Structure 1
Amino acid sequence: MTRWLTEAVPRGRVAAFRTLIYLFVAADLVIFTPWVRTRVSVPGDLYQPLLIGRALPLPTPTETLVTVIFWSLLALALLAATGRAPRLLGWAVCALYLEWMIIAMSYGKVDHDRFGLLVALAVLPTAGRARHGDATRTEAGGWALRVTQIAVICTYFLAAFAKLRFGGLDWLTGSVLARAIIRRGTDLADLIAQVPYLLIVAQFGIVAFELLSPVVFFLPPRWRLAMVGFFYSFHAVTIATITISFAPHLAAMTSFLPLERVRPLVWARRLVGRNAPRRDVPGPSGDGPAVEPASDPAPEPLGDQVPVVGRPAGP
């Protein structure tokens, strides 16, 4: 079990995941949850903090407190995305974002799509330093990614448990999706709703998919990626029909992906170098210019390949 929890992964994967998560936190503040700043206009007696907010205890949100958290978290998340001071900046972002979520969810509604993201923020500071493109393996980084993966799958499995606990079998045969389509459905959802019994079948399918989600850990790597692709397609359909994005959950779910292969900065440099004008240098005889050939960068290791050191030069 310990070996599975700490399965080593390339440091480049940890670096890419760290950058993505912290950039998402910055985007979340300005795109997905800017409405948290409006909580200061709500009377303080309506603030009913979550259990963690009562246990610490945390103060009732004020305009000053929320403003300081917003700008501090935005700046620190952007700095943390660079990979510098991973522990100091990581713990600071984790603490501030947790308080941001406590403020957001202490007025009567709790979103379960934040669970995986919060776990990722809590474990990333323990992964240590990691550089983009580094193929050397790290068990600490593997543990951080594995724990995030478990949180992502628990989000699915516990969602099914909650459906059956509070809704019972009526959740499967009721009008849950029909009500969601009436409230926030799209034109595509209206077409789907016209097919007899299709929404009931979809409700059975959703619960089955959530209950079976832990199977992803028992699949070979290629099939595991295929199942994660199915998870993303499920959320794509959810967005297209009832406009629910689960964006924080989707960001945390990238912990399953070989992110070390995605290197946009390297691709951009190669593209710029390929499109850059070639320099003319004098030819060997001095008669005319010769074109200086552009040097291609050395190929980089892909996936989980580890560079071999100390191999003899001869056959």
Structure 2
Amino acid sequence: MDTLTNPGRAPRPPATVAAGAAALRRWLFEPVPRGRIAAFRTLVYLFVVADLTVLTPWVRTHADVPGDMYQPLLVGRLLPLPTPTPLLVHGIFWALIVLSLAAATGRAPRLLGWTVFALYFEWMIIAMSYGKVDHDRFGFLVALAVLPTVGRARHGDSTPSEAGGWALRATQIAVVCTYFLAAFAKLRFGGIDWVTGSVLARAIIRRGTDFADLIAQVPYLLIAAQFGIVAFELLSPLIFVLRGRWRYAGVAFLYTFHLFTFAAITISFAPHLAAMTSFLPLEKVRPVEWLRSRAGARVLQT
């Protein structure tokens, strides 16, 4: 029928479509060791505790803000979610602390995982519904959403898991989308003026460090940096093309970029950096065994 209505277009062979679909499925569900999921899960849930207590403790102050100042994000209006009260804010805070610590152990991964995701999601609505919206939480929220789908995973388990592979891949896609869509937003709202203007100069004036003052003195360096930022954000999906050491080098570049960003204008992107560990072989980092081996070595030396 396609050749009759459009004679100039040859129908795509069904085998080609099936092969493409199979390749996409293999990529999305590429198996990873369950130990990697266990390590990533522990890291993510411990980060929730660190986020609430160290990185963004200011969210708790919204408990004392008058309700009429609450302007919920679109998702908060659609659900709808309740207006924050002292009981709600403090209740979610302590529930997240306790449940995240429990989830970090790997027990009841689905029950605790879904509960932590729901509570942290509401915590972010409370945090971002008063005029300030951060975009460094997207990949981390996706990680919290997909981890409960994997089920049980033990540290050190080398058994391959397609469910675990999908959870990490979904997180990786969210991480890359954070970069790519950030560049899209820059060009959409700022246009070419974003890369040729004084965006970084204004940021340095507002919150720059001594390190930023040094680099700001180099002629045209800030303009070049703005071009470089947009370029690497647009090219960020290429990290999926890289393999082996080249991919790890790409991830190292991303971490280095955020290190320089923090050193210059004290923007950390900490939740995004936690989600970005989904690219790393975390199963090889086993601190408990390392501490045990160190303790055993000391005993033998004595």
Counterpart code for 2:35: G
TM-score normalized by structure 1? 0.87
Q: Superposed, which structure 2 residues align to 1:225-240 within 5 Å?
A: 225-240=248-263
Deviation of 1:278 after TM superposition, in Å, equals 7.8
Counterpart in the other structure of 1:59: 82
- How many angstroms does 1:46 deviate by? 1.3
State the distance in 2 between where 1:277 and 1:270 align: 10
1:151 correspondence with 2:171: no
1:201 paired residue number: 224
CA distance in 1, matches of 2:90, 2:67: 16
> Structure 1: where are the runs of 5+ without partners?
280-315
Q: CA deviation at 1:109?
A: 1.3
SS in structure 2 of the partner of residue 92 of structure 1 = helix
- 2:192 alignment partner AA: L
Per the TM alignment, residue 219 of structure 1 is displaced from its structure 2 partner at its CA by 1.0
- Tell me the number of residue pairs that the alignment of Structure 1 and Structure 2 aligns: 279
The alignment-based identity, stated in percent, is 76
Cα deviation 1:80-132 (Å, max 9, x = unaligned): 00000000000000000000000000011110000000000000000111100
Find the counterpart in structure 2 of residue 267 from structure 1. 290
Q: Which runs of structure 1 show a deviation greater than 2 angstroms over 4 or more consecutive aligned residues?
A: none
Separation (CA, whole Å) in 1 of partners of 2:244 and 2:271: 24
Change (3 A) 1:278 1:31: closer
**How do 1:62-211 and structure 2 match up within 5 A?**
62-211=85-234
Q: Which residue of 2 aligns with 1:49?
A: 72
Choose 250-259 or 214-223, whichever is displaced more: 214-223
| Match for residue 269 of structure 2 among 246, 265, 268 | 246
Which SS does the other structure have where 1:113 is aligned? coil
Residue 33 of structure 1 and its aligned partner are, at CA, apart by 1.4
Partner SS state of residue 105, structure 2: coil
Residue 8 (structure 1) aligned to one of 4, 28, 31: 31
CA drift of 1:45 comes to 1.2
- Say which is worse superposed, 40-49 or 259-268, in terms of deviation: 40-49
SS state at 2:137 partner? helix
1:204-219 mapped onto 2 (5 Å cutoff): 204-219=227-242
Residue deviations 1:27-59 (CA, integer Å, cap 9, x gap): 000011111111122221111101111111111
Query: How many angstroms apart in 1 are the aligned matches of 2:180 and 2:208?
Result: 25
Give 2:156's aligned amino acid: G
Q: CA deviation at 1:263?
A: 0.2
Amino acid at match of 2:132: K
Describe the SS at the equivalent of 2:136: helix
Which structure: greater helix fraction? 2
SS of residue paired to 2:155: coil
Quick one: structure 1 residues 139 and 187, their matched pair in 2 at CA, closer, same or farther if it must change by over 3 Å?
Answer: same
Q: Distance in 2 between matches of 1:188 and 1:35?
A: 27
Which residue of structure 1 aligns with residue 40 of structure 2?
17
What's the offset of the Cα at 1:273? 1.1
Q: How far apart are residue 191 of structure 1 and its match?
A: 0.6
1:213-259 deviation per Cα after TM superposition (whole angstroms, max 9, x unaligned):
00000112221111000000000000111110000000000000000
The aligned amino acid for 2:98 is A
Q: 1:184 is aligned with what amino acid? A: R
C-alpha distance in 2 between matches for 1:224 and 1:275: 37
Q: Whole-Å Cα distance in 1 between the matches of residues 122 and 251 of structure 2? A: 30
Deviations 1:43-76 (A, max 9, x none): 2111110111111111100001001000000100
**Bigger radius of gyration among the two:** 1
